[in-house]
Each structure stands twice: as C-alpha cells, then as structure tokens.
Structure 1
Amino acid sequence: MLQIESLSLTFHGHDLIVDSELELNYGRRYGLLGLNGCGKSTLLTAIGCRELPIPQHMDIYHLTREIEASDMSALQAVVSCDEERVKLEKEAEILAAQDDGGGDALDRVYERLEAIDASTSEKRAAEILFGLGFNKKMQAKKTRDFSGGWRMRIALARALFMNPTILLLDEPTNHLDLEACVWLEDTLKKFDRILVVISHSQDFLNGVCTNIIHMQNRKLKLYTGNYDQYVQTRRELEENQMKQYRWEQEQIASMKEYIARFGHGSAKLARQAQSKEKTLAKMERGGLTEKVARDKILVFRFTNVGKLPPPVLQFVEVTFGYTPDNLLYKKLDLGVDLDSRIALVGPNGAGKSTLLKLMTGELAPLDGMVRRHNHLRIAQFHQHLAERLDLDMSALQYMMKEYPGNEEERMRAAVGKFGLSGKAQVMPMRNLSDGQRSRVIFAWLAYRQPQLLLLDEPTNHLDIETIDSLAEALNEWDGGLVLVSHDFRLINQVAREIWVCEKQAVTRWEGDIMDFKEHLRSKAALSD
C-alpha cells in the first residue's frame, strides 16, 4: 500500500493539488478523472518521476511515448525491455563458469529467473502483441517501419509485459481500434498490482476500474467502484451536501434576522439574541457546509442546415485499393443521406478512414463512381487537423485567417460555441491543452455549416463531460453523420446503424454496438 499525506502539486506556478492525500492499494485499479486541464497527466508524471515519496522497491512504469524507431523487430522491442531477465541471464553465465559451479548464488539466480518466467518471455510478449492487433508477420517487422500509432501500441505491449508494481497509463485506448480496446479491457481487469489510468472512455473505465480518483477544486477524492458507481455515489453525496447547505443557510438567515430585530430589545429578548449569536459563531467555527461546486460543462452547438433531397451521397460499384493488386474494397454499393447516423467499425487497416476519404473525394475509386449532391457540403474531423494549426496564433487569429472578411465579434461567437471563451480565445494555441485545440478544430469545421459530418476518432484528447456535450450536440443537429470511433459509449449515444468494414466489403450489423462488443469478445475468446 502507498499512502501520501498532505500532497501538493504545482505546475508552472499554478496550484493543481493543495494539501490532499493519495492512497494506492495493491490489487486495485484506479481511474483518474477530472475536467480537461485540471492536471491529471501532471499528477501521473509526478508519480512516474518519483517526485512524490514512493518507496524504491516499488517499480513504476509510466507509458508516455511510442517506442523508438529502430531496426529491432516489434517482438524484440517488447522482450528487450526485460532488463532484469537479461541481467540475471548474464549473471548465471558468469557464475556457471566459476570453479565451484556457482553454488547457492546460482540457485538463487535460477529461482528468480523462474519467478519472472524467463523461458516463456517471448511467448508472453507475442501473446500481448497479438492481442493489440499484431499478427506474426507484423511482430517480425522493424519498429521503424510502423507509424506512430502502431509504435504507441508496441510501447503499450512493453508496459504490460513488464508487469510493474505501479502501472501508469494515460489514455491507453487512443491509438486502438475496437478489437484492441476489448482485449486491453479484459487484460487490465486481471491486473493484480497497482494501476492508475486516465481515460475518456466511460465504457473502458467501467470494465477496468475498482476505484475512481476524482480531481476537483485542487483536491483528490477517492470513490469505491467503477465509473457508473462513482457517478451514482457522487450524485447522492452532492444531493446530501446541498440539503445540509440549504438547511444551514436557512438557520443562519433566521438567526441573523432574530439578532437584528431583538438584539436591542427587552433584556429577555436581548439575552436570547445573544445566545443565538453564540450558536451562530459556534456553527461558523465548526465549519459550514460548502455549496456544491458544479463542474463547468461546456456545450457544443452545430448550426442546423435544413434538408437536401436524397440520394445525397451514393457509391455505385466502387472498387478501391492503394495499389490495384491489393484491394481494400470491391464493388461497394451504399448510400448516405442527411438523416443517416452511421458508425463504421472493423479492424485497423480494414479501410475505415479510406472510406471517409472516398466520401469526401480526397481519394478517387479505381472503378465505379461516387455521386455527391451538387450542393452537399462535407466537413471531416481527423487527428491530423491539429498538426495543421499554427500554434503561434491564437484561436481567434486562426479563425480570422481561415475565414477572412468576417468581423471579430462573429469569429468570437463561432469559437465560443465550442466552449472556448475569454483568455483561451486570444492566447497562442501552443498554450492550450490538446482538448482545447480539438475544440478550435470543431469551431473551424462547424463554421462551414456542413450538411454531412465525417468524424474520424473525434474523442481523443476530450474529457468525458466534453464527449457527452459532443454527443448531445450531434443528436440535436439535423445533418448526416458518419463516425469512426473506439469509444463504445459515444457510438451508443449517436449511431443508429453500425457498418462493419472488413474483407473488402461494408456490411450492416444487425444489432447495436454493445452486441457488437460481445461479438468481438467471443471472437477473441475472451470471457468474464
């Protein structure tokens, strides 16, 4: 067990946590929650760098970046991190070469090697990589031949393989598809040491966590149970707190009124007034109940666009591959209208993002045709938009540059619709959090008033509350939506149909996304 009392944490002169306590117990899996920018990642880093008093015998692994690009294969990259094993094997070699054959010392080394299961380490590493979507061929591929997202998966595999005493994961599902998310959830729920995870996926937190740590008002508050249980407990605690707060305020108001009316009256009434004054002072000394601090929830708003007669977007016998001998899609026939609410699912590499690019016209089919309504405006959100932002500019300057000829007030309102106000609109975007930058991109997309939104992993870097606001805004909006996401809950909130991309085809899944999750589970032979 790890207990840190009177914990304070500052970042660039800002207090993130003041005089709070943190308790981490063996065998527990903690979800760390809090609004964007409250300092969750900074807290993980402080634990990972041992800026907090953590006993040396507790080894910590904090997953912060993708594996370095080198000539090592994915499998080697995972196994090579096993420094202790490599060191022990060398030690055993030296001891065995001694005249006495190593004696007790060698026995101890072999015992330790057995404990960390050295002979099966390659098999274990291969199983972890397979769960994260690497087939045999990919496991043998050099790490420098993988994209950043896949190298992040290798780093995640390494973290799981090391099986440290304290494992710290910050948004581990960000680079995963639904299959890998299901596998990771099932793997982590069996993790029997100390896990602290930051995740914006409620579904994932429900599957993995035994406790929730909530960061709010510079304090850490511990809840027992998974995400849903935390929501319920917090609601009950806050209701009781508000009841107590209102009762106290009523008492105070009536005492103050009595004192004001009778404090200078007859001796008897003045005495009663004095005693009420004492009661009041005693209440204040004992500490009054604070009013519940509501989280500032940000509302998203998309402008309604009216109707276009269908078909708005039609694929007629579309065939596509990046090379003619390696086709991703064969003779696709499908249609998207303004009342479509579609989630695309399927393994990584099946072509979900490619399908979106065929819809926008960024890619052209090898055969067949994509028909778009003449007046159709499409906007697409994807991860790489953030890379195009000029971080020296403010959000406001960026919008003025992208949409010239508009007065400043109008651009302020456009950014304000996505929860960026005041200072955040005018400071350089490099000082904004990733979540705030995502909002700038949403404001930029929404200003084009698209009738069809294509969202490719829109939830990365958004917190849970913001994802709920996004879902609400999408449900209130009248345009068409095609979504690619690894967030089961968002899909559940907004999608009316599920399309599965695999085996060069797109087929409609009969059932909802939770049925699909169970299907993935049984396909991977994972059971509770």
Structure 2
Amino acid sequence: MAVTCHEIIEKCFPNIDKEFFNYICGVLEDGTEDFESADDLYEALGTMLTQVAEEKEDGEIREICDRLFHVMKDGCDVPNDKVKILDAPVHIGDLVAAETNGDKEEDENSIWIAKRDKSSKVDPKKLEKAEAKLRDKQGKRGKDYVYKTNSISLQNEASASQQSNRKFDKMESAGTNKSYDIRIENFDISFGEKTLLKSANLILSYGRRYGLVGRNGIGKTTLLRMINSRSLRIPSHITVLHVEQEVVGDDTKAIESVLECDLQRTKLLQEEKEITTEMNSGCTDPNLNNRLSEVYQQLEAMEADKAPAKAAMILAGLGFSTSMQKQCTRPDLLLLDEPTNMLDMKAIIWLEDYLQTWSSTLLVVSHDREFLNIVATDIFHLNAQVLDLYKGDYEAFIKTRTERLKNQKREYDAQKQYRDHIQVFIDRFRYNANRASQVQSKLKLLEKLPELKPPEKDSDVVIRFPEVEKLSPPILQLDEMSFHYNKDRPIFSDVSLNANMESRICIVGENGAGKTTLLKILLGDLQPVSGLRHGHRGLRIGYFSQHHVDQLEMNLNSVEMLAAKFPGKTTEEYRAQLGSFGVSGDLALRPVASLSGGQKSRVAFSQMCMANPNFFILDEPTNHLDMETIEALGKALYKFKGGVILVSHDARLIRMICKELWICRNQNVESLEGGIDQYRKIVEEELAAQK
C-alpha cells in the first residue's frame, strides 16, 4: 500500500499540533507544482518542522522533506537505507559556479542580493575601475558623459543608461555623501528594443512611503530590479532590500519580529528574564519565586513554547524561506513588488499596520488600491515612458490626475482653436497679393508655436466573456458534505451550499482554512467523504487557479499556445479570442515568457474561455493584474450571464460583483451578511484581541 504524506508526518511527528498538521498538509496538497526539488520543500517547511520537533537534527528534517517530496512527485516513499544524510546541503549549481568562476564571497549566494548574469564574462571590479577612470577623464575635460551598463539583475535583456552628475560622483569618491535621500535623475531603461523609461527622474525622500502604479508590462518590476542591482546609481552607503513577493522583517530577525507581535508573551518572557537576573544576583525575596511560578504557569497556559513554530508557519505563509526567517533586514530602502499577492485578510492587515511604522524609505508596486490608500504617502505613476509624482494616497492620485488631464485637455483645445483660427486666415488669403505680408507673418507665428501634442490618455482595457445559455436550477450544490484527509482531523463537517447562474460568491478565510480544498470539491476534483456534490448535466466550469499563469507554454506565443490546446480553428479566431482579453497586435505574437504577469493572466483567461464555460470558479484572479484590468475584470464578471465563485481579498473587486460572502472556518462554511467590510471588521477585532 502506497504511503501518503499525511502518514509520514504523523509517524515522524507523533506529537504535532493539530493546527500545524493541517497547515503542513495543506501546503503539501497545494504545492505539487510549486516544489521542483526536496530543497524547495525544505526551504518552505524546514524551520517549522524543526520547531515542531526540536530533538531532530537538521539532517533528519532534510531526510523527511526528501521522503515527502518523492511521495508528492512519484507516489512512493524513499526507503531509509537509500537516503544519504549529508553534513551540509550540496547544491550542484553552486559547485558548477565555483568551478567556473573560482572562489566567490558568501554574499554572492545571499537571498537579498540580485543574482548576477552567469553568462557575463566581464569582471565587475575591473569594469568599475574602468568606469571610474572614464569619469575622471571626462571630468577633467569639463564635459558631461553618460553612465551606461547592461543590467546585472534578473532581467537579462534589460539595460539602463543614466546622465552623470559631477557633484554626486565627487561626493561618492570623497565619501562625503551622508544623505539618505535618493536622487536618480535623467535615466533611461530599455528592455530589448523597447524603451520603458526615457529621461526619467526618481526622487525618494528618506522616510516617505511611495506607491508605484501603472499598466502591466510598462516597466514597474524592471525599475525595481534596476534599482536593486544598482544598474541605476544610488549612494553606496544606502542599503537596499528587494522583496519580489511577500513581506519582510525589520531590524530584528524576521521570525523574532513576528513573535514580538504577541505582546503578552513578550511581556511575560521579559519579566521572567528580569526575575531570573535578580535571583541569580543573590536576591532572596520569596515573592520573586512566587511570581516566577505564576509567570511560568501563564506561559504554559498560552503554549508559549509553540510560539516559534506558529511564527514560522505565519512567515512561511507570507513567502519567507527558512534562511529568510533568520535574516536581519532593516534596509535604508525597501522595495516591494506586489506584497499582498496570496495573503489572506489577516496577513494583509498585519502588513498594513507594520509598514505604517516603517521608518526608512519604501517603494512598493501594488495593484491593491486600499492597501496603497493605507500605506502610501506618495504615488509615482509610470506612463508613456515618464514617471510623474503625486502627493497623497491612491485616491488623492486619482483625483489629482483626473483634474490634470482635464486641464491638459482644455489647454490642448484652446491651442488647437487658436492654430485653426490662424490657419483659416492663411488659407483664405494665401493667394491675395494685398495680404501677402500678413500671411507671411501668420506663417512665421505658426512656426514659432510649440508642437501641439494631445494629452496622453491610457487606452481602455476591455475584457469580454462569452455569452452563455441559461440553465435551470439546481446548478451546483453541496449537501451535508464532510471532508478530511485524515479522519481524526476533519476539514469540513456537514456543509450544505448552493450556487446558481445568478450567483456572485466570494470565499474568504485564513490561509490553511480550506478555501482551495472547497474549490476542488466544487470542481469535482475531490470527492466528499460523506454527503453529496451535485452539478447540472449542462454545467461547464471555467477554473482559474492561483498557478494558472505558471502552467502556460512559455516558449510559444499566445496564438501558438491556443492552437496547440484547441486545434482546428483559424489564426483569426485565435487572435479574436485573445483580443477580447486585451492581448492584440504584436503582443499576441510575442513569446509568453516575455509577457508581464498581468499580460500572462489575460492569456490564461483567454485560454480558460476557449471551452465556452458557463460557470466560473476563480482562485485569486487579480494577482499580477493592474488596477485598470481589475476594473475591467469586475465589469466583465458583472455582465457575465453565468455563475461566479471566487477566492479573493481584493476589496474593490468584491464590492463590485459579489452578492454573497462565504467564510471558511471551524470546519464549516458560513454565510456573512455585510460583505467584505464586515469581514474586515471581524478580522481587525480578532487581531486586536490577540494583542
């Protein structure tokens, strides 16, 4: 009989807490396609498993992760006598790199440092010296020069050029630049042959929190990577931390920062330390001994010994690897790229509160407008190769930008009217000898006027879902459904739900509460242990998973990918399908790998709809989408004639379309009146009670 991951965990950790067991099983269940090696699995769960069983050595934990990985991938366990436990992990890639490039500093393998392009043959130190000599020569000649470098960030095709600043260079050389403000002026960024930013300026004042917004695919992520790799120059004394997904720690270790959020536990531990210090110094006060006993009792009652494991679980859910949890990470400049992706409501609120106390500089790319309203003090808008700065949060940005566009339109109309008036005079009297001098004067006047440019306006994002036929209810039902992976740890008990063609339902709940499991039961991918799932015989479900984008054929272009998945149609039909989701023109002919996250999501939506579904089940569909596309998605779902069930924490999207809210908790699914705002209030009250 084939062994399961659940059985391995139960056998290796017989005293594991139920909460941790369910969480770990959920990660293993949902992570089949996320983990490419046992090392990946160890990075995700290693710290937590170590905390669960402190008596186990690191090598034993790695062996267990190796066994779990083989069961996930191959369906069979690795015999213990076949597992070789090493004194330390060996990474073949590191050995190859070491053999190729010689000895390297440990920092090269740091998770906080952007990986260098392994194909590069240029010695960075020699390159830096050569550029310094060039700057000295150009400075002596009294001429400006352009600092150019190929990107050494993760985007191998990206490059940056930046106008030199003599004052900056002189201060850097002398080591007199002590300011923590950042001025990146007059720079260009290109990706291949495409110019993303031209003659742009990015001025960051220390202590401010900047949001960076703009359409998908115009260079937001590339800009962050260029700053992090220092392809764009910033003062050498400024430390930078770039987190491309979830949240970060502070000036203590990341895991300690989470533990410190439990104020009661922190207070008791501090009191224990103080009492112990007094007693060790010779104090014989009997009250100290009594109080110490009370402190121990309170710590035991709150299971303080399990707090590190719970903190590790929280951090793992927020995207921290084992090594990241041990880092001290209070940088001068923090760069965050879509930090709220995959977070539940509780984690988002925690992150919002945490970042509002961030004392250094923050630059964050986010599609979550409520998150930006709470966190951001300023907004950078990237549009038409230019960065524009707006004071205030996202709502203030929208208001100011709308007014600015109106003013630009009025100015454009006035200038055009003035030009047209002059042109009418010229055309009327062009061949009139008596008016020749006046015509010439008007012509010269036109030539002196500045170039007339209409105000830049973003093209509208359009998403169109297919028309569907009405089905008679019942459409999709769960009747007294119960489900578990292990009979001693039920996930759902006696759940009854109903969805029809008019349903607009959002499922919420903490990560690990069973949202993805519930979706799989609704899809029919998992069968209830007891009870029934009923689906209409005409039901065609379109499923968009959290990892849908990663499952696209990256080496093909979008047209080729649809043709491979759904053969038999013409190129025009495939292009029309892609065009209904905003993937048109040259975009449809570019390799999928070269598209931005939001563009890939649109391709995934297009692929999902090729089978003409009449019911959507969407798992975090807004991840990687820009705000304009989220708005378009909301409008399209509102107009869709079929049913919709989605998992999302994007409050604006939920308000736009959802009529019902289902909460997964306590082995049940509860319907909540009051919508997403009421749910957020409940979560905030729970967090306040924990403090």
TM-score (norm 2): 0.64
Q: Tell me which residue corresponds to 2:547.
A: 384
Separation (CA, whole Å) in 2 of partners of 1:11 and 1:354: 40
Q: One-letter code of the match for 1:235?
A: T
Give the match's secondary structure for 2:340: coil
**1:45 CA displacement:** 1.0
Does residue 332 (structure 1) correspond to residue 499 (structure 2)? The answer is no
Cα pair 2:617 2:646 within 8 Å, conserved: yes
Alignment of 1:92-131 (within 5 A): 123-127=256-260
Partner of 2:93: none
Q: In structure 1, what is the equivalent of residue 449 of structure 2?
A: 283
Distance in 2 (alpha carbons) for counterparts of 1:153 and 1:474: 36
- Higher mean Cα deviation, 476-485 or 401-410? 401-410
> Aligned runs of 1:24-173 on 2, under 5 Å?
24-64=204-244, 123-127=256-260, 137=306, 139-140=308-309, 150-152=318-320, 162-173=329-340
Report the AA paired with residue 495 of structure 2: L
Paired residue secondary structure (2:671): strand
In the alignment, does 2:573 pair up with 1:410?
yes
Q: Check conservation: 2:549, 2:601, Cα contact below 8 A.
A: yes
Matched, 1:223 2:390: yes
Distance, in Å, in 2 between the alignment partners of 1:7 and 1:393 is: 33
Query: Hey, what's the Cα distance between the residues in 2 that align with 1:505 and 1:43?
Result: 44
Partner amino acid, structure 1, of 2:319: R
Deviations 1:19-59, CA, capped at 9 Å, x for gaps = 12111012211111111111101111111122222112221
Q: Which has the higher contact order (CA 8 A, sep 6+)?
A: 1
Q: Name the residue aligned to 1:8.
A: 188
> Residue 391 of structure 1 contacts residue 429 of structure 1 at CA under 8 Å; is this kept in 2?
yes
Deviation, 1:283, is 1.9
Q: Which residue of 1 aligns with 2:371?
A: 204
Q: Distance in 1 between matches of 2:509 and 2:431?
A: 79
CA distance in 2 between counterparts of 1:220 and 1:305 reads 42
Query: How far did residue 432 of structure 1 move?
Result: 2.0
Query: Does residue 344 of structure 1 match 2:507?
Result: yes
- Cα contact 1:128–1:157 (8 A) shared by 2: no
Query: Aligned partners of 2:389 and 2:262: how far apart in 1?
Result: 33
- Sort the Cα spacing of 1:54 and 1:293 in 2 relative to 1 into closer, same or farther, 3 A: same
Amino acid at match of 2:364: V
Residue matched to 2:561: 398
The 8 Å contact of residues 456 and 485 in structure 1, kept in 2 or not, is answered as yes
> Amino acid of the residue matched to residue 497 of structure 1?
E
Q: Does 1:243 align with 2:376?
A: no
Q: Is there any run of 5+ residues in structure 2 with no aligned partner, and where?
A: 1-180, 264-303
Could you tell me whether the CA contact under 8 Å between 2:210 and 2:380 is conserved in 1? yes
* Alpha-carbon distance in structure 1 between the residues aligned to 2:246 and 2:339: 11
Q: Deviations over 1:342-364 (max 9, x none)?
A: 00011000111111100011000
Structure 1 residue 148 displacement after superposition: 7.7
Alignment partners' CA distance in 2, 1:203 and 1:146: 22
Q: Which amino acid aligns with 1:151?
A: G
Give the Cα–Cα distance (whole angstroms) in 2 for the partners of residues 506 and 441 of structure 1: 29
For 1:515 and 1:156, locate their aligned partners in 2 and report how far apart those are by CA, in whole Å.
Answer: 34
Alignment equivalent of 1:431, drawn from 594, 599, 606? 594
Q: Which residue of 1 aligns with 2:534?
A: 371
Q: Which residue of 2 aligns with 1:109?
A: none
Residues 299 and 148 from structure 1, CA distance in 2 versus in 1: closer, same or farther, beyond 3 angstroms?
farther
Q: 1:512 Cα shift?
A: 2.0
SS of residue paired to 2:221:
helix
Q: Could you tell me which amino acid in structure 2 is paired with residue 456 of structure 1?
A: D
Conserved? CA contact 1:186–1:526, under 8 Å:
no
Residues 132-176 of structure 1, C-alpha deviations (whole Å, 9 max, x = no match): xxx974843898x999865348788778x6232111000001121
Match of 1:213?
380
**Match for 2:257: what amino acid?**
R
Q: How does 1:401-480 map to 2 (within 5 A)?
A: 401-480=564-643
Opposite residue 659 of structure 2, the aligned amino acid is: R
SS where residue 506 of structure 2 aligns? strand
Instruction: Give the match for residue 310 of structure 1.
Output: 473
TM-score by length of 1: 0.83
Aligned AA for 2:354? T
Tell me the percent identity.
39
Confirm whether residue 492 of structure 1 aligns to residue 630 of structure 2: no
Matched AA of 2:618: L
Which of 421, 439, 445 does residue 254 from structure 1 map onto? 421
1-structure distance, mates of 2:314, 2:185? 43
Shift of the alpha carbon at 1:278? Answer: 3.4
**CA separation of 1:154/1:165 partners in 2, compared to 1, >3 Å: closer, same or farther?**
farther
What is the CA distance between 1:198 and its match in structure 2? 0.3
Question: Is contact 1:125–1:157 with CA below 8 Å preserved after alignment?
Answer: no
Mapped partners of 1:13, 1:121: distance in 2: 40
Answer whether contact 2:634 2:657 (CA < 8 A) is retained. yes
The Cα of 1:421 is off from its aligned counterpart by 1.3
The aligned counterpart of 1:359 is 522
| Structure 2 Cα separation of the partners of residues 49 and 413 of structure 1 | 40
Distance in 2 between residues matched to 1:158 and 1:476, nearest whole Å: 48
User: Paired residues, what number?
Assistant: 470
Q: 1:136 to 1:16 in 2, by over 3 A?
A: farther
Instruction: Give SS of 1:525's match.
Output: helix
Query: What SS class does the counterpart of residue 572 from structure 2 fall into?
Result: helix
Distance, in Å, in 1 between the alignment partners of 2:651 and 2:633 is: 14
Report the counterpart of residue 110 of structure 1 in structure 2: none
Shift of 1:181: 0.9
Q: Is the 8 A contact 2:246 2:341 kept in 1?
A: no
Is this contact kept in 1: 2:342–2:620, CA < 8 A? no
Which residue of 426, 439, 452 corresponds with 1:273?
A: 439
Aligned letter for 1:11?
F
CA-atom RMSD, angstroms?
Answer: 2.8
Q: Which whole-Å CA distance do the structure 1 matches of 2:440 and 2:433 have between them?
A: 12
In structure 2, do the counterparts of structure 1 residues 240 and 174 end up closer, same or farther at CA, with 3 Å as the change threshold? Answer: same
Q: Which moved more, 1:359-368 or 1:382-391?
A: 382-391
Alignment CA distance shift 1:194-1:158 (3 Å): farther
Distance 1:474 1:167, change over 3 A: same
Go from structure 1 to structure 2 and tell me whether the alpha carbon gap of 1:397 and 1:174 turns closer, same or farther (over 3 Å shift): same
Q: Distance in 2 between matches of 1:215 and 1:191?
A: 24
**Secondary structure of the structure 2 residue equivalent to 1:517:** helix
Q: CA deviation at 1:123?
A: 4.4
Are the counterparts in 1 of residues 493 and 668 from structure 2 also a CA contact under 8 Å?
yes
Contact 1:2 1:23 in 2 (8 A): yes
The residue that corresponds to 1:91 in the other structure is: none
Aligned pair 1:191/2:361, yes or no?
Answer: no
Deviations 1:108-153 (Å, cap 9, x if unpaired)? xxxxxxxx6x7x98743424699xxxx974843898x999865348
The alpha-carbon distance between structure 1 residues 375 and 470, as it changes in their structure 2 partners (threshold 3 A), is: same
Contact 2:461/2:632, CA 8 A, preserved across alignment:
yes
Using the alignment, how far apart are the partners of 1:248 and 1:402 within structure 2? 52
Paired residue secondary structure (1:57): coil
